[in-house]
Structure 1
Amino acid sequence: MAQNCPSIIEQLPPEDWEKTPASVKKMVELMALRIEILEQQAQGLREAQQQLEEKVNQTSKNSSSPPSSDPPGFGRKSQKKTGKKRGGQPGHQGNSRNLYPLEKCTSVIEHHPVRCSCCGESLCGEDTNPYRHQIVDIPPIEPIVIEHRLHQLTCERCGTATRAKLPDDVNPSGYGVRVVATIALLSGLYRNSHRMVQSAVADLFGISMSLGTINKLRQEASNAVADCVAQAKLYIQQHEIVAADETSFNQANIDGGNPQQRQAWLWVAVTPQVTFFEIALTRCTQAAQNLLGENFGGILTSDRYGAYNWVDIERRQLCWAHLKREFIKISERPGVSAELGTRLLQQQEKLFKLWQRVRDGTLSRNDFAELIKEIRHQIITLLQQTADYSIGSKEKTPLAKTVRTCRQLLSVESAMWLFATTPGLEPTNNAAERAIRPAVIWRRTSFGSQTQAGSMFVARMLTVVTTLKSQQRNILEFITTAVANNREGKSAPSLLPSV
């Protein structure tokens, strides 16, 4: 172990080292061992420091962390004062209020000028294109209350008292279908808590109801749309192109009233006109298969999360927004990683500039597919050069992390380019991330759901609201019809787009 000793000892000629007393040799060997241990500890501390620095510098730009986790002011560009006044500048095209069509107007009042504003001459005639000014107001809302009196009469023959029953078309809940739909809308689309819904219906409609009643009406609305939501799931599973994502969601009281919160996951599958949500207690492959269907044969757009790996690589499109974050993370590491990440980001930027031309119609998809061949070659070369570095199986240095990432990307590299040749396929998973954002807000404001039935309501309402918005259909009228049909034993209206 003399080679690990202090430099003065290492400079001794071999014959002098042999003449050194055994006690001194032992001391030197102990010193060398101590130096080696200290060097290992120092290396471990350096690696730990690098990991902490990477964790501290983690943002929504270089990881899958949500923007809400970014530090205050992150990403905001400092704006220089221009000296201009606030608001639209001269020459700016303004936006006027959309006017209601004449058939929607309660009344139309014509106003004619009587005299000329210049000379005072009397005026007559009609303006074929008068300036239109509309006043929009809401009338006082009074609930429609219908009282049913159930009389009880006593039989003169046997003395039995018999009370009349409610007609079959009268719901025993005491509330009409529009009230149920409004409760669902306030809870679902606007994500209000039970107490906020209670306050809203009292303030807006003068209807007083308990929190328990609100919960019962929510569940009635949830049951009313159950069949059409299940139909939407089948539609998703049979669609040619689907985007998928998932986020955490808390659910309590699922085991016999146990109040302990458990981790659940909200999954979403998106097509252009139908979006389906589902809450599961797992984030594993089985949950993804249940979402998309075990026999899913379409193209899946997603991130690199392992639960989607059961879908054939030939039918997957990896999200380039997530890939960009990986490249940024690599570029922020020292040494070889920084250079690699920078060069990968340069290729990604070239790719997106070309894709923008495809979207605005200035570049055909066929020409795009030809132009990106060089970009693909460059990215593969960069990944392969770094993947060839030799690292230890348990090495945790920044370079080791970069090497492992490059090896993982190379294993799924073919799934990065399917959008180039597939019409209707996007390079990012932005559609699924946009769809799941309201659910994240719901989770943050409500801390999840308290029961499995509550989770079902969340998933169903998100499915109904998101789908109807994409089809530009009236949400309140849809839920009202669904509740009315359910009370009459009829099927709910369909969420599927009309052919």
Structure 2
Amino acid sequence: MSEIPAELLAEMTPAVRAFVASLLASMESQRARMQEEIDDLKAQVKRLTPQNSSMPPSTQHPHARPTPKPKSNSKRKRGGQDGHRRVVRQLVPIERCAEVHSLLPENCRRCGKVLTGADPEPIRHQVWELPPIEPVIVEYQRHRLICSGCGTSTCAALPCGVPTGQFGPRLLAFTGLLMGHFRQSKRRASLFLSDLLNLPCCPAASVKMQNRVSEALNQTYEDLKGLLANQGQLFMDESPTKQANQKAWLWTAVSSSFAVFAIFASRAATALPKLLGDQFTGIINCDRAKMYWQAKRLQWCWAHLKRDFQSLIDHHDHQVKRLGFDLKTPVETLFTLWHKYKSGASSWETFQTEVKPIRDQVDRLLLRGVFSENKRLIGMCNELYNHREWLWTFTEIQGLEPTNNTAERALRPAVIYRKLSFGTQSEAGSRFIERMLTISETCRLQKRSVYQWLTAAVEASLSGRPAPSILTDP
């Protein structure tokens, strides 16, 4: 009762005193409980790393102390091992060399006698070098002639495919790649063109080229986006970005042969039908974010789950830590069986048989967490158990993957771009980025040159023709 001034304490009846004392005790208990929760949350934040959470690796400071790994008993040194296949740059045919210099020794290196003749098999040493870069400038002289009959002047039109501006298709494609594929800013791209290629350029000109390239990609982008609804499986992920200092989200949907990126103002579930359409019935590989739950069938990412279980292991609560260890063991066995199947060492039917006891074991462990009365375990385990069919879709349908690594790899260049540029500054900039990322990743999946395809697409656009198909098997 020391918190109550003495003069007020003297005026209280015993009943009031008892009531106030109970209130103070309740407040103190609540304060202690809240402080405990705050301390626990602070400890969790300090423990979170890309290895035990969904935090991207780029969020970790480059000088952060790495998580200690168990020491390996292997005595191998770092680098190439004895017996590994040697990789060397092959010599090109002599006909391809711009210059060939025959070097003959004049005197014997031992006695000094003059040497004559030639070596039928000289040691060939080739040096690769960049040529002096000079832009190719083509001038079109449009004559204006006056009709002798009616006096009307007529000016010659530019040939089909010749741009009305000063930038040719290869230059447009190259500049688009600099900004959208190689993540250079408008100013850096213009400096590169000026300093290295001797092409006078300013940031405003690079923006004009960006818009021209974006226009050339529009129809191909929309065609790929329309194909998403018919895919049997898609890997999906999203990452925060900005547009004109407003928060936005960059989404990606990756199939086996192409990828589509889109920037929306929200991460809400309403973005999903905007990207996939209303008719999508396939399976989505994703993390456990709830906006994906509207899909008919999911495959939750086991790589995310491994990190979540590692987070339990890193917790200070022994009950939480114990369940984390118990969950991690069957997960490691699961991936061992999966890699064994993927390598061809076991059949699909064998894999399905061997994975059944693991599935039962994980389900039992999740139920243990549900009834643990531990607030750190109940929520996560309850969610996983109630939707446990989304954990095992890949064991029921052959050809599915257990992780969402495909989407994360596709999204990584976009995340690096965002960190370098802080997002886009306009609607047009967002459209360019989502189209360029789509073309870049699709060309990678198709194993084709993005520069060659982009040049062909820009040439087609300048000639009024549709862009060539980007899919080898549309």
Which band: TM-score by shorter chain? 0.7 to 0.9
1:388 alignment partner in structure 2 = 371
TM-aligned CA deviation for residue 442 of structure 1:
0.7
Shift of 1:190: 0.5
1:360 aligns with 2:343: yes
**Matched ranges for 1:425-436 at <5 A:** 425-436=400-411
In 1, Cα distance between equivalents of 2:123 and 2:228: 48
Which of 297, 308, 316 does residue 298 from structure 2 map onto? 316
Q: Aligned partners of 2:110 and 2:342: how far apart in 1?
A: 55
Cα distance, 1:126–1:116 mapped onto 2, change above 3 Å: farther
What are the equivalent positions in structure 2 for 1:437-452 lying under 5 Å apart? 437-452=412-427
Counterpart check, 1:466 vs 2:441:
yes
Query: Does 1:38 find its partner at 2:32?
Result: no
Q: Deviations over 1:26-80 (max 9, x none)?
A: 5445434422321122112111221222123222122211122224324355899
Write the distance in 2 (CA, Å) between the matches of 1:33 and 1:168.
89
Matching residue of 1:217: 209
Preserved contact between residue 357 and residue 363 of structure 1 (Cα < 8 Å): yes
Matched residue type, 1:436: L
Deviates more, 1:61-70 or 1:433-442: 61-70
Change in Cα spacing, 1:345 to 1:131, as seen in structure 2 (3 Å) is farther
Residues 1:125 and 1:202: Cα distance change in structure 2 (over 3 Å): closer
Moved more, 443-452 or 59-68: 59-68
| Structure 2 counterparts to residues 180-219 of structure 1, below 5 A | 180-219=172-211
Asked whether the 8 Å contact 1:268–1:436 carries over to 2, the reply is yes
Instruction: Give matches, 1:145-164, under 5 Å.
Output: 145-150=137-142, 162=153, 164=155
Residue 490 of structure 1 deviates from its aligned partner by 0.6
Q: Deviations over 1:381-418 (max 9, x none)?
A: 1111221345xxxxxxxx22420111111121111112
- The percent identity for this pair of structures is 31
Indicate the residue corresponding to 2:96 in structure 1. 105
**Range moving further from structure 2, 455-464 or 102-111:** 102-111
Distance 1:329 1:117, change over 3 A: same
CA shift, 1:184, in A, is: 0.7
Residue range with higher mean Cα deviation, 91-100 or 237-246: 91-100
**Which runs of 5 or more residues in structure 2 are unaligned?**
2-11
> What's the counterpart of residue 9 of structure 2?
none
Which of 84, 88, 91 matches 1:93?
A: 84
Instruction: Write out per-residue CA displacement over residues 130-153 of structure 1, whole angstroms, 9 at most, x where no aligned residue.
Output: 865433222212111122344567
SS at match of 1:207: coil
Question: Cα distance 1:95–1:477, how it changes in 2: closer, same or farther (>3 A)?
Answer: same
Residues 320, 450 of structure 1: CA spacing in aligned structure 2 closer, same or farther, 3 A cutoff?
Answer: same
Are 1:296 and 2:274 an aligned pair? no
Provide the rounded CA distance (Å) in 2 between the counterparts of 1:404 and 1:87.
43
| Structure 1: runs of 5 or more not aligned | 6-21, 253-260, 391-398
CA contact (8 A) 2:142 2:155 kept: yes
Q: Say if 1:403 and 1:146 are closer, same or farther in 2 by CA, change over 3 A.
A: same
Superposed displacement of residue 320, structure 1: 0.3
Distance in 2 of aligned mates of 1:79 and 1:24 = 64
Partner SS for 1:42: helix
Structure 2 counterpart SS, 1:205: coil
- The Cα shift of 1:298 comes to 1.8
Give TM-score, length-normalised by structure 1.
Answer: 0.82
Alignment of 1:139-150 (within 5 A): 139-150=131-142
Indicate the SS of the match to 1:295.
coil
2:158 to 167, 175, 184: 167
Contact 1:331 1:339 in 2 (8 A): yes
**CA distance in 1 between partners of 2:192 and 2:313 (Å):** 50
Q: Deviations over 1:447-467 (max 9, x none)?
A: 111111110100111111111
Q: CA RMSD in A?
A: 3.3
Distance in 2 between the 1:126 and 1:363 partners?
55
418-427 or 172-181, which deviates more? 418-427
Aligned counterpart in structure 1 of residue 451 of structure 2, from 476, 494, 497 = 476
Q: 1:257 maps to what in 2?
A: none
Cα deviation 1:104-134 (Å, max 9, x = unaligned): 824685979999999999988966xx86543
Matches of 1:113 and 1:207, distance apart in 2: 42
Q: In terms of mean alpha carbon deviation, does 284-293 or 298-307 score higher?
A: 284-293
Aligned twin of 1:268: 252
1:41-80 equivalences in 2 (<5 Å): 41-71=31-61, 72-75=63-66, 77=68
User: For the structure 1 residues 371 and 108, does the alpha-carbon distance in structure 2 shift closer, same or farther, using more than 3 Å as the test?
Assistant: farther
| Preserved contact between residue 266 and residue 277 of structure 1 (Cα < 8 Å) | yes
| Contact 1:229/1:495 (8 A) holds in 2 | no
Tell me the distance in 1 between the aligned counterparts of 2:52 and 2:95. Answer: 51
Q: Distance in 2 between matches of 1:485 and 1:104?
A: 34
Q: How many residue pairs were aligned?
A: 454
Contact 2:144 2:156 in 1 (8 A): no
Q: How far off is 1:168 after superposition?
A: 4.2
Q: Counterparts of 2:259 and 2:89 in 1: how far apart (Å)?
A: 29
